[in-house]
Structure 1
Amino acid sequence: MASTYFTEDHEWVRVEDGVATVGITDHAQDQLGDLVFVQLPEIGQSLSKGDPAVVVESVKAASDVYAPVDGEVVEVNEATASDPALVNSSATGDGWLWKMKLSDTSQLAALLDEAGYKAIIG
């Protein structure tokens, strides 16, 4: 069964069998507005918690999406690069950004659950 976590930087993380799928939250895409560009990480790239992994650009601003935990990029969602609006229409579904193999599952304990995240965004 998949477990979902959130970061204070507005990423969501869905973990299943040691692989985390990462994207931005509905709140984040709403704040950014219509996305016009998504720059994905390289497959095989090692990321440490807090590293910028993805750049999303809207008509308002460019913003980094950070690695929520340590791991290696194992898959990227090319559909979001060719159609950035997918992130706006389905931020927590088809608009996921990358998948990473976790290096240290204990880092998940520092992330927020849905209630904790909702408390932050009000």
Structure 2
Amino acid sequence: MFSAIRQVARTSLPLRATRPCASSVHRFPAHRTIVTKKYTADHESVAFDDQTGLGTIAITDYAQQSLGDVVFVDLPSVGLKIYKGETIGAVESVKAASDIYAPVSGEVVEVNTRLDDEPGLVNRSPDDQGWLCKIKLTEPKEIDDLLTLEAYAKTYES
């Protein structure tokens, strides 16, 4: 494949003279899921899926590094209604314990039960495998009040 790309790049045809392959026009679905990831100054993150209305809550990579080896995670119960800013659980490590605060309001629809047996997933993969819970947001506009990655990075750089 790479040799074909190089070969096309060597041709003298200008880019505007080339035509897209007809099959490439419909490769992407008309309705794409947009996931918005935002952060709190308390080192939680939420990845919001606009198609499902679900938010996946995790602690940030910075938080897990600061805590050290996580040995226990206290998660909220499925069905619990949570409100932005309230304590929804805790993470305990060999160094310290830290509360988990809800970055947005909603109802817990799933918890990461793998953390019961493997709390170290929070260290190894805080976003992918070490997420804490998923919630159905009741106030999706609260996402707008959270920090972008750039703004969040400034909170711990100073």
TM-score band by shorter chain is over 0.9
Q: Which residue of 1 aligns with 2:116?
A: 81
Aligned mates of 2:85, 2:111 — CA distance in 1: 18
Greater C-alpha Rg = 2
TM-score (norm 1): 0.97
Report the alpha carbon displacement of residue 97 of structure 1 after superposing the two structures with TM.
0.3
User: Are 1:38 and 2:73 counterparts?
Assistant: yes
* Structure 2: stretches of 5+ with no match in the other structure: 1-33
Report the alpha carbon displacement of residue 93 of structure 1 after superposing the two structures with TM.
1.3
Q: Which residue of 2 aligns with 1:116?
A: 151
* Structure 1: stretches of 5+ with no match in the other structure: none
Aligned mates of 2:75, 2:104 — CA distance in 1: 17
- Cα RMSD over matched residues? 0.7
Report the alpha carbon displacement of residue 61 of structure 1 after superposing the two structures with TM.
1.0
Moved over 2 A (4+): none
Aligned mates of 1:81, 1:117 — CA distance in 2: 29
Aligned mates of 2:90, 2:154 — CA distance in 1: 26
Q: Which residue of 2 aligns with 1:47?
A: 82
Alignment of 1:1-122 (within 5 A): 1-16=34-49, 17-122=52-157
Structure 1 or 2: more strand by fraction:
1
Q: Which has the higher contact order (CA 8 A, sep 6+)?
A: 1
Identity %: 47
Is the Cα contact below 8 Å between 1:43 and 1:74 reproduced in 2? yes
Report the alpha carbon displacement of residue 54 of structure 1 after superposing the two structures with TM.
1.6
TM-score (norm 2): 0.75
